[in-house]
Amino acid sequence: MQKVIEIRSFILALALVTAAFAYLMMPFFSAILWACIIALLFYPLHLRLMQWLPRRPNTVALITLTVCLVVAITPALLLISSFLREGAAIYQQLESGQLKPSLWVEQIQTAFPVIDTVITSLGLDMAAVKQQLGSLSVDMGKIVASNALTIGQNTLAWLASLGLMLYLIFFMFRDGAELIPVLIRALPLGDERERLLMKKFAEVTRATIKGSLVVAMAQGSLGGLIFWALGLPAPIVWGVVMTLLSLIPVVGASIIWLPVGIYLLATGAVTDGIILISFGALVIGLVDNILRPILVGRDTKLPDYLVLLSTLGGFSLFGMTGFVVGPLIAVLFITFWQIFTREFNITGSEEDSPPDQV
């Protein structure tokens, strides 16, 4: 009896200490998550370098980290810097009244009278719809611009988080091969199940980054490029916005380039409008269908509806990191239930057998 009490007390204390440690790490959640993601993506390169320098783990980890900086982190920093500049400019124009989204709605309404007919046939008030669309455009623009301004004001904290992420990446490269066996030994889920869960974690993380982020970056880059080629304002800001929207299935970047194309047609820039809509439909829209099957294996693909729900839920709960966390939780949820049904669920042979005749 005494031993049972000791074991239960120890497990309770272990749970409390673990919860306290997790709470302590919450402010660094984004830095830790992105350190894990980047380490997973570049770990195959680290293993190849280790074959050349097997007795220099610190040197190899530093070389791999340098490659990460050159390939992924430095271009992202340059893009963020440009985004902040253009976002601050948009914020100032909205505040000063130089940008008036309500006028855009009026111009589209004047150029396409059929819109009034469709809205009226649906039993909606055109004035109310116009007011809501105008306020929505203002709100969206202010959200984008004010977030850019907030990031700029919190530069010091952001740089500290970046430094912490790089620090963690170095040790994940250097000590990652030793950490996995320790985790498998420590977790009480069974070694085979733990290896399966870790494999799924690595698969869905790589698949999400390659299949979602890379595709979204390609679509956003193409969208920003066509905006720049047509001389539209703030191409980097709208390219970043299209990248973010491309992370959400179904919606995609069309929620930006299609209304802008219609606006160009409504204001008399027919050639530019046709070019933008054609480019969006034929190039930006097809990137997902071409790149995703190449970058992502079929084994890790979630159903489209589950990707949509988990991505939206991830965004609402975790912000920018939610496009990774949401699908990851969904995949782990499915994996846990698959393990349960395979190993713990009662087979139908006993329950479905007819009762003995009396």
Distance CA 307, CA 353 (A): 39
**pLDDT value at position 226?**
92
What are the residue boundaries of the structural domains of the chain, listed by start? 26-99+136-186, 188-342
**Residues lower than pLDDT 50 in the chain:** 299, 348-358
Query: H-type helices in 97-213, by residue range?
Result: 101-111, 114-121, 126-153, 155-186, 191-208
Task: Note the pLDDT of residue 16.
Answer: 93
Q: Nearest to residue 234, comparing CAs of 73, 75, 74, 98?
A: 98
**What span, in angstroms and rounded, lies between the C-alpha atoms of 132 and 137?**
9
Q: What's the rounded Cα separation, in Å, for the pair 34 and 309? A: 22
pLDDT of residue 252: 76
pLDDT at residue 349 in the model = 46
**pLDDT digits 0-9 by tens, 213-239:** 788 888 888 988 999 998 887 788 788
Q: At what angle do helices 254-266 and 101-111 cross, to 10 degrees?
A: 60
Cα 243 from Cα 323, distance rounded (Å): 12
